Structure 1
Amino acid sequence: MSDEFEIKNLQPTFDIKGFLYKLVSYWPLFLVTLSIGLGIAYYFNVRKLPVYSIDNLISIKDDQNPFFTSNTSLTFNWGGTTDKVNTALIILNSRTHNEEVVDALKYYISYKSQGEYQKINAYKRTPFLVDVDTAKMQLLGHDLTVVFKDSVRFELSYFQELDGDLSFQKFDGLKEKTSKFVPAQDFKKEFRLGEKINTPLFTGTLLPNENVIVVPGKPYFFSFIDFDNAVYNHSKLSVRPNKAGSSVLSLTKTGANKAELVDYLNNSVNILGRNMLERKNLFATKTIRFIDSSLTQKSKELSGVEDELNKFKDKNAVLSLDEESIELKEKLGVLDIRKEDVVRELNYYTTLKEYLNNRSDYRQIPAPSVAGINEESVVAAVSRIVTKAEERNRLQYSYKEGSVVFNEIDRDIDATKQVLLENINSSEGLLNRELSNIQREINKVEYQTKKLPKAQQELIKIVRKYDISQETYNMFLAKLSEAKLVKAANVSDVLIIDEAKDTGGGKIGPNTRMNYIIAVLLGLLLPLLFVFLLTLLNTKIQNVKEIEHLSKIPILGAIGKSYDKDNLAVLNKPKSSIAEAFRSLRSSLQYIYKENDINGAKTLLITSSISGEGKTFCSINIASVFALSGKKTLLLGLDLRKPKIFGDFNIENDIGVVNYLIRDADLESVIQKTAIDSLDVIVSGPIPPNPSELLMGDRMAEMIEQLKKQYDYIILDSPPLGLVADSLDLMKFSDANLYVVRQNYTRKGMFQMINEKYKRGEVKNISFVLNYFESKAKYGYGYGYGYGYGYGVDSNGYHENDNKPGLIKRILNTFRKG
């Protein structure tokens, strides 16, 4: 037997079927948690403000200027549609862009009205609009209350309970903030719409909103939000391409006020389009500015030469050039124009080199076309450098200096700059050689003019200066017209396909259905986890299956839970299911005796792990069923440390086993009669100082031998085996042994001790009895095992119903059980 025996008490088990039965038994807990969860969901659902989603649709296109030619080079090159789309995506989510939108819409002002449960967003729903004095400090984060008395007059009020420092901010340029001490106050004052309001907390004017009717007596509120916080709150804009690789962008924004969302989306797109157009006109704008300054200078120069020419004509009789002089002047004019063009190009290259070598901001470089330079490599390089410089300037509001994105841009600018400087050096060499050739030609013609009369020579010089100035002035005028034409013809690359608009829908929250679903899931999950943990962490025996798993020792039967005040369950209710369970045990024991060829008097020892598992209860009732069957039965109380059985039979514990073992009484004097003719009892008697030694002595063996001659059955009510070794010593007197296990009381770890003793052969002919068993689902099973599992059920009239006592009686009975 020992070779086949396995100790399995430490192995984890989880009974799915039992767990499901237990879940069902906790249905009130599920009902409570579901009710609480649904109640909380309802509370939040009725108080949550609606959430809306508004969107618009734009396209980022690549519209080329119809007046753009290869000779103008005044249109800012963005790098194609793809680069424009990526740039637009970055800009729309950038802090700088959203600062512009918030500032333009004055979204740092919050309008509110009183809702059913809380204040709600009342943007465009108040009968007034706040015209704030941005140069004055305004109170942040505290509501100012407006209550109209009629269509024009209103009362402005503010209540502060305690003294304290409050935050203030200006909403002009730098958005300066400060903190001021404000004493406790209850401010109230009457004003009129359009009247200037100048208080320490607010400076501005309330203007009428013609779209909202005034409701006298209804409170409205407005407050100022920290500008940075307002930008952060409103910059949560979802921008995504309509489909992969598409230049169509979808802008979506969510919030509690549809009008606020519509205005933000549309203004965001308008500001984006305006800024993109400004960047597209960057070269043209800078060129116009450069040409305007150059024209002023050339105009003065031309006026001076014209005065000089007039003075010369007034002093000299020569009013015009002769034929030879005209021919020489025309040759010199052509050469002078060529020279002027070359010098202008060289001057541009000198300026460009100064920008590239000595400056870090390349955004102010004028277009090469201003100097008449149309070389593609130079134009492309300058355009790229300016583009990257603009991109770097734009990103500095979103990234810290030294970040990777700046390093990449700087490397690109440096690489382009090196190539451009090489091109400039090459072009300068060609231009200088061309300038030398032109100068030699001019020198030849000038040598011929020296043969002319002195007056003709002077007149040619003055006319040459005038022609050069006039030609340069006309050239700049032409460039100015060209630049203005290019700028005027440019259109924004942002095309609005669908404006944001309140079409009556757009509500996306609160998701009340989801809240209820979450409430139901949590209402089911929490008690489920509770029951699961309760089951997982429970170390006490719950059902027969657990005993079968923990030990190889057979289970002889199960006894139902008794609600009687004493232990005489069989005698008090002989037709009860408990009584029938004990009769079943009697039959099983008789079978054991027969299998072991035990004839004559038969002994049965009853023990358990610890006190309180019902060992005495089982001893009394097993003895009772044997006695009721007509067999002469003796109940022997051997728990000398904690005697109990005397109280149930209304007998005294003055004399018993201890008296016999110490030779203080004979056997006949310690045997006491009970109400049942066939049942006698020997109580334990006075508590001795050495119970173990008494039970191990020869006197104990003599007593058992004498009793076997007088009785058919001897029931030994022994001490708990898990606490003392007395029961182990007494087993040499027993033909069969019952080990009582109490449901939801006996710990699973206690089986290790009995398993070890059973494996080593120290205990034999032992069986388990599951006591105090309730066939409720919370213990894992709803079906029976033996007769005891039918406890509490009418069983078609075979058993008496056991009425469950009230809670107080059950608590009292618990302390009476053995």
Structure 2
Amino acid sequence: MNRDSLQIEEDTIDIKEIFRTLYRYKIMILLFVILFGCTSSYYAYFQPNLYKASATVEVGLDKHSSSGQDVLAMAMESGSMNAATEMELIQSRFLTEKALKEVDFTHKYYTTRKFKEIELYKESPFQVGMLKGYGISFDFYPVDEKHYRLIVEEAKDRHGNLWSYDKTLPYGEEIVTEHFHLNIVKTKEPQDTKYRFVILDPVNMAKNVARGVRVDQLSRYSTILEISYSDNVALRAQEFANALAKAYIEQNIEKKTQEATRTLDFVDKQLKAITENLKGSAIKLEEFKKSSNTVSLSAKAENILKQMSESETKLAEISMEDEMLNTLYKQMKSGQDSESITATGLVMVQAQISAMLKELHEVIAQHKILRETKTEMYPEVRRLKRVIAELKKNVLMTIESMSQSIKEKKALLERSISEQQKLLNQLPADERMYGQLQRKFVVNEKIYSYLLEKRSETAIIKASTVSKNRIIDKALYPESPIKPKRKMIVLVGLILGLILGIAVAFLREFLDDRIKEEEDVTKVTDVPVLGQIPHMKEINGAVQVFASPKSALAESFRNIRTNLQFMVRNTSTHVIAITSTIGGEGKTTTCINLGGIMSMADKKTVILNLDMRKPTLHEKFGLQNSKGMSTLLSGHTALGEVIQQTEYENLDIITSGPVPPNPSELIQSPLMEKVLEKLREVYDVIILDTPPIGLVTDARTLMSFADTSIYLLRADYSKKGFLHSIEKLSKEEISGLSIVLNDVKTSRHGYGYGYGYGYGYYEEDEK
């Protein structure tokens, strides 16, 4: 139970020490907080605003049907697409270039307001046209209604040479120099005295702007995409987000229109050839009719010609399909980008190939997305690569199989036409010739009609093409910036300042070897602490305990007086030696006030100034120092001659006297002990103001004469290493050795020196 109580007490002391350290360095910590707060505020203020505008679009994914498509229906089918592919398309440089045609990123106009440079965009009072001089920073100063001043300060040309420019010019005039060619037109009255502008090269603009485009899928399975763009100009961010969404919709229409255009080109090419054949066959048929007077055929001939016409029409369609399959096969074998390959123009039996191509496109898109974050040796990347190769192989095998099937159909149709040709050859020559000419005319006419029909359908579709994608929400004007988070920056700065201030405080505390409080003493040595003396204010020409008898200082000396009574018994006279390690620890002042407090208790007290090297005691009382301990111990004066009375009752002083050449020998002389014996007969308390024990050995001799030895330490001045000297003295059996801690700041503890006494004693401290 006692151990637990002791542990709790130790923990409490540690926590108190932490708060004492923080309180001790509160000013420094506050300065760190203010410094970092001001720095972060400066940084936050001058950081340019960044605005984000977002538009949302719906991606209409293509859905291919497996039936109902004829020879040209697939000409209108785009390649398969998915949301990931569309996201990459939106972020492409190609689409950014289309959007940049509507939004100006090349002209940058700036002005300074409230010590911060801001971009004006469309609020600029002038416009610049440029043919040469991209990337040069120009300073623009309005002069009057018709003139301006243009300045370039130390720019570098392409050879690295410095050049400058400074001229006053009229608005609207072409300025042509070795380094730039521009024209500035005034659009409205300038509000500021200085502007700056930079015209960027439009060639590289798309690449730079595309980096700021962000596309997000609102949910994993959603076809709604959010197109965002961030810019330091709110209006430009809104305009570009909307322009990019619009460009995305338009490119989708252009893509479908391009496919329809390719179909129309294909049909027109076929129509051109068929038209020539149709005209030729019509002319030949007409000429034969005139030359042979044949105007009709027999029923048998018509039946043969009808069958031949149907077979030849089918053969022509199959031949076109075979040509398209061959083209697709060559594209696949050549290694062309498989995402751009479509089944344009294939008949409905090739819907299987279209489905396979769609699957191939999806796998390629997955592979492309994965390769953005994974290496080619990643297991899933390698798997998708194998799947792509297998799908390509299957497409090629399917095409080969279909080509073989078409060849077999063509062979059957050609045999059928050959057999019908034999039957036709059995007819009379005129009828046979007439039938052949009419058969060619009918076949060409059917193919011509079919192509005209498909051309009309494709033209209508092209004219009425709409995108399956649509804009859901246009970007709104961003009222507030997304960056910088100024409050957060300032808060982080304040917190960092606080943390660093506390860290430096504890580091200083760790490196600080000065004694600050009683606990620092008791941790190192077992020598008792007689008391603590608070920080005392200097009072000219007065002893503090007499000037303020009810102060905390006077009470602390009363406490020391009381404790001294318990240290010495059975003696009528109490000899007290007071020493310290070095000068400046308040030894003489302590002697004076201790002597004063003793005299106030009706004890006849004398103070001996034995610090003969640096005497200051006489100055405190305004006494003469022409004779004293040095003359007494050297035998030049008698004891009665050196004792000087002070203005205070029961308090006498023996000053040090003139500085002798041999103070140590005088103190160690037999006369010193005789002087003390004489003084014991007269005085109740004899206080010896000794030299610092850390500098000379005189104090050890004097401490051997004393009943009580007080070792004085000064808070925030004496080093902790001084405690080793005290430990050494305690082992030398110095009688009545104790410690007094001087100059303790009362604010360190937050309370007065209440050693069982009322607070009325300290009322003078509040005056």
Question: 1:711 Cα deviation (Å)?
Answer: 4.6
- Cα 1:44–1:392 change in 2 (3 A) is closer
Are the aligned partners of 1:654 and 1:686 in contact in 2 as well (CA < 8 Å)?
no
- Cα 1:520–1:144 change in 2 (3 A) is closer
* Residue equivalent to 1:103: 101
* Residue equivalent to 1:418: 393
Give, in whole Å, the separation in 1 of the partners of 2:61 and 2:489.
Answer: 47
Matched, 1:351 2:346: no
Question: 1:740 Cα deviation (Å)?
Answer: 1.1
- Cα 1:411–1:426 change in 2 (3 A) is same
Are the aligned partners of 1:265 and 1:500 in contact in 2 as well (CA < 8 Å)?
yes
Deviates more, 1:269-278 or 1:701-710: 701-710
Correspondences of 1:357-756 after superposition (within 5 Å): 357-362=333-338, 365=341, 367-368=343-344, 370-385=345-360, 413-501=388-476, 537-549=511-523, 551-564=525-538, 569=543, 573=547, 575=549, 577=551, 578-594=553-569, 598-627=570-599, 629-639=601-611, 644-645=616-617, 647-648=619-620, 650-652=623-625, 656=629, 660=633, 664-665=634-635, 668=638, 672-676=642-646, 679-681=652-654, 683=656, 686=659, 691=664, 708=680, 711-723=683-695, 727-728=699-700, 730-755=702-727
- Cα 1:289–1:407 change in 2 (3 A) is farther
* Residue equivalent to 1:90: 88
Correspondences of 1:95-494 after superposition (within 5 Å): 95-111=93-109, 120-125=118-123, 132=129, 136-137=131-132, 139-143=134-138, 145=140, 155=147, 157-162=149-154, 164-165=155-156, 184-191=165-172, 197=174, 199-200=176-177, 201-203=180-182, 214-215=188-189, 223-227=198-202, 228=204, 232=208, 236-237=212-213, 239-242=215-218, 245-253=221-229, 255=231, 257-280=233-256, 283-306=259-282, 309=285, 321-362=297-338, 365=341, 367-368=343-344, 370-385=345-360, 413-494=388-469
Give, in whole Å, the separation in 2 of the partners of 1:564 and 1:392.
Answer: 86
Deviates more, 1:287-296 or 1:782-791: 782-791
Are the aligned partners of 1:290 and 1:366 in contact in 2 as well (CA < 8 Å)?
no
Deviates more, 1:511-520 or 1:440-449: 511-520
The one-letter code sitting in structure 2 at the alignment partner of 1:73 is M
* Residue equivalent to 1:783: 751
Equivalent of 1:773, from 734, 744, 749? Answer: 744
User: Partner of 2:101: helix, strand, or coil?
Assistant: helix
* Residue equivalent to 1:810: none
Question: 1:273 Cα deviation (Å)?
Answer: 0.7
Q: Deviations over 1:239-266 (max 9, x none)?
A: 4455664433444555565543432232
Give, in whole Å, the separation in 2 of the partners of 1:252 and 1:770.
Answer: 70
* Residue equivalent to 1:812: none
Q: Deviations over 1:216-248 (max 9, x none)?
A: 898887642344467646863554455664433
Give, in whole Å, the separation in 1 of the partners of 2:341 and 2:330.
Answer: 10
Deviates more, 1:30-39 or 1:273-282: 30-39
User: Partner of 1:589: helix, strand, or coil?
Assistant: helix
Matched, 1:59 2:58: yes
Give, in whole Å, the separation in 1 of the partners of 2:39 and 2:322.
Answer: 83
User: Partner of 1:184: helix, strand, or coil?
Assistant: strand
Question: 1:420 Cα deviation (Å)?
Answer: 0.2
Are the aligned partners of 1:95 and 1:235 in contact in 2 as well (CA < 8 Å)?
no
Are the aligned partners of 2:147 and 2:168 in contact in 1 as well (CA < 8 Å)?
no
- Cα 1:699–1:205 change in 2 (3 A) is closer
Question: 1:613 Cα deviation (Å)?
Answer: 0.7
Give, in whole Å, the separation in 1 of the partners of 2:74 and 2:540.
Answer: 111
- Cα 1:33–1:736 change in 2 (3 A) is same
Question: 1:532 Cα deviation (Å)?
Answer: 6.0
- Cα 1:298–1:165 change in 2 (3 A) is farther
User: Partner of 1:375: helix, strand, or coil?
Assistant: helix
Are the aligned partners of 2:143 and 2:149 in contact in 1 as well (CA < 8 Å)?
no
* Residue equivalent to 1:809: none
User: Partner of 2:712: helix, strand, or coil?
Assistant: strand
The one-letter code sitting in structure 2 at the alignment partner of 1:564 is E
Give, in whole Å, the separation in 1 of the partners of 2:755 and 2:577.
Answer: 22
Are the aligned partners of 1:148 and 1:215 in contact in 2 as well (CA < 8 Å)?
no
Question: 1:685 Cα deviation (Å)?
Answer: 6.7
- Cα 1:65–1:557 change in 2 (3 A) is same
More helix by proportion, 1 or 2?
2
Are the aligned partners of 1:74 and 1:486 in contact in 2 as well (CA < 8 Å)?
no
Instruction: Please report the RMSD computed on the Cα atoms of aligned residues, expressed in angstroms.
Output: 5.1
- Cα 1:112–1:642 change in 2 (3 A) is closer
Deviates more, 1:668-677 or 1:581-590: 668-677
Give, in whole Å, the separation in 2 of the partners of 1:119 and 1:413.
Answer: 54
Q: Deviations over 1:674-732 (max 9, x none)?
A: 224753526387566794x8867877666656665565433333343445565456544
- Cα 1:291–1:614 change in 2 (3 A) is same
Are the aligned partners of 1:640 and 1:688 in contact in 2 as well (CA < 8 Å)?
no
Give, in whole Å, the separation in 2 of the partners of 1:428 and 1:667.
Answer: 141
Are the aligned partners of 2:353 and 2:398 in contact in 1 as well (CA < 8 Å)?
yes
- Cα 1:68–1:221 change in 2 (3 A) is farther
Question: 1:356 Cα deviation (Å)?
Answer: 1.1
Question: 1:615 Cα deviation (Å)?
Answer: 1.8
Deviates more, 1:312-321 or 1:487-496: 312-321
Give, in whole Å, the separation in 1 of the partners of 2:643 and 2:143.
Answer: 100
Deviates more, 1:504-513 or 1:707-716: 504-513
Question: 1:739 Cα deviation (Å)?
Answer: 1.8
Q: Deviations over 1:110-144 (max 9, x none)?
A: 355775656654444457766x57xx435434347
Give, in whole Å, the separation in 1 of the partners of 2:312 and 2:557.
Answer: 135
- Cα 1:99–1:699 change in 2 (3 A) is farther
Structure 2, unmatched stretches of 5+, are 1-9
Structure 1, unmatched stretches of 5+, are 1-7, 168-177, 209-213, 803-818
Matched, 1:795 2:765: no
The one-letter code sitting in structure 1 at the alignment partner of 2:690 is S
User: Partner of 1:716: helix, strand, or coil?
Assistant: strand
Are the aligned partners of 1:62 and 1:493 in contact in 2 as well (CA < 8 Å)?
yes
- Cα 1:517–1:158 change in 2 (3 A) is same
Deviates more, 1:113-122 or 1:62-71: 62-71
Give, in whole Å, the separation in 2 of the partners of 1:68 and 1:634.
Answer: 126
Question: 1:188 Cα deviation (Å)?
Answer: 0.6
Give, in whole Å, the separation in 2 of the partners of 1:297 and 1:656.
Answer: 141
User: Partner of 1:674: helix, strand, or coil?
Assistant: strand
Are the aligned partners of 2:103 and 2:236 in contact in 1 as well (CA < 8 Å)?
no
User: Partner of 2:212: helix, strand, or coil?
Assistant: coil
Question: 1:616 Cα deviation (Å)?
Answer: 2.5
Q: TM-score, normalised by structure 2?
A: 0.78
